[in-house]
Amino acid sequence: MLGSRREDGDCRTYVGWTNDIDKRLARHNAGNGARATRGRMWTLIYVEKCKTRIEAMSQEWHLKRDRKFRMQMLASLRAL
């Protein structure tokens, strides 16, 4: 999970799966990722390793719907 905090205090999270987290983070921070990720500097706030692509996609689906967990991750980002 990636987190972003702007100077105006706006915090966001992004959940996705990848085979290369460093490359994915660099792509998002370069403005080449999804439209929702452009214009922000993203920080890695949570990583979970999965054995298969299917397992990773399933976990992504669950994390995107787990608002409580994402809010906890945002709270940790705000504390930085």
Average pLDDT along the chain, 80 residues, taken 10 residues at a time: 66 85 89 78 87 95 90 76
Q: How many Cα atoms occupy the beta-carbon half-sphere of 69 within 13 Å?
A: 13
- pLDDT at position 54 is 96
* Cα–Cα dist 21/79, whole Å: 23
Show me where the domains of the chain are located: 2-78
- pLDDT at position 8 is 63
Write down the CATH number for the domain with range 2-78: 3.40.1440
3-class DSSP state of 71: helix
Q: Using CB atoms within 10 Å of the CB of residue 25, give its burial: 0 to 12 exposed, 13 to 18 middle, 19+ buried.
A: middle
On whether the CB atoms of residues 59 and 48 are closer than 8 A, the answer is yes
